[in-house]
Structure 1
């Protein structure tokens, strides 16, 4: 279940970042601190942005940062950070970003059910707004708990 995957240690709110690279680093660092990924994984995410552009900015204000499993994933995990101030990621349609979701998938399929539940949250306008504007980690946990 999503609530088992996204624990309070993998969430941070109102994070201050100077640019998109720092936002990616801070989201990935939560996963790295818990051993879900190796440091090289966040470097691969940044390289993907540089090479492929802002395709990871999946909707207005939301980035789903990720890289290939072989780029340094130890265990499937998801982190969520909200940004104190919105940041430009280079997406003409969906900038600025306020919600950074970092996905570390151990393989190409096992994360799909979690991703599906996460998309349900993001498609619910009220719950999405609660996520983006959360003042405390528990606000985000409460939203996640609704999606069992």
Structure 2
């Protein structure tokens, strides 16, 4: 399907219903061994969400006027903690402006990211929850209350990270994270 991006540029896009996420999770599991990457003696297939999403990268009850502000909050956490350079945040914002809200992968959840060459220093994630949800322009998945920014170090490591996020959706952890009153409560919900 072809759509018009916010910048009025025609781009190719595929719309995926969140009902199909289980099928995609199973597909990720099949292809992950093909992309297994040894990092410090540990295979990416052995990595858990808690390995990628550290406590210092989580903030709750944040305030943002719009999707761009929310993405910048999540991205700045990664900048401050040494995962990415500032240009990574700019690349994420520009990608959404150019291509549209494809990073809103599930009702209430966006997973903004950019390519590794835009200043990614190490693999990691940040998570923010918003006091008031924001709209990205996603027909089916707005408004967004939870944003998980992903910093991929290569073109394959993010497959495992996305699989872990999908697992969190399917086991119900996402809804608990949205309602969490403190970061320790979130840490208990991620595996």
Normalising to structure 2: TM-score of the pair? Answer: 0.73
Map 1:38-49; keep pairs closer than 5 Å: 38-49=85-96
The higher relative CO (CA closer than 8 Å, separation ≥ 6) is in 1
Map 1:50-65; keep pairs closer than 5 Å: 50-65=97-112
Cα drift, residue 8 of structure 1: 1.0
Match of 1:137 among 176, 180, 183: 183
* Aligned residue number for residue 153 of structure 2: 106
Cα drift, residue 119 of structure 1: 1.4
* Aligned residue number for residue 15 of structure 2: none
Larger radius of gyration: 2
Cα drift, residue 110 of structure 1: 2.3
* Aligned residue number for residue 14 of structure 2: none
Kindly report the root-mean-square deviation, in angstroms, between the aligned alpha carbons of the 2 structures.
1.0
Q: Deviations over 1:61-111 (max 9, x none)?
A: 100000111111010101100000010111111100000010000101123
Normalising to structure 1: TM-score of the pair? Answer: 0.93
Cα drift, residue 128 of structure 1: 1.5
Cα drift, residue 112 of structure 1: 2.4
Match of 2:136 among 83, 89, 103: 89
Stretches of 4+ moved more than 4 A in 1? none
Equivalent position SS for 2:77: helix
- Structure 2: where are the runs of 5+ without partners? 1-47
Equivalent position SS for 2:147: strand
Match of 2:126 among 63, 66, 79: 79
Alpha-carbon distance in 1 for matches of 2:89, 2:189: 26
Alpha-carbon distance in 1 for matches of 2:122, 2:89: 14
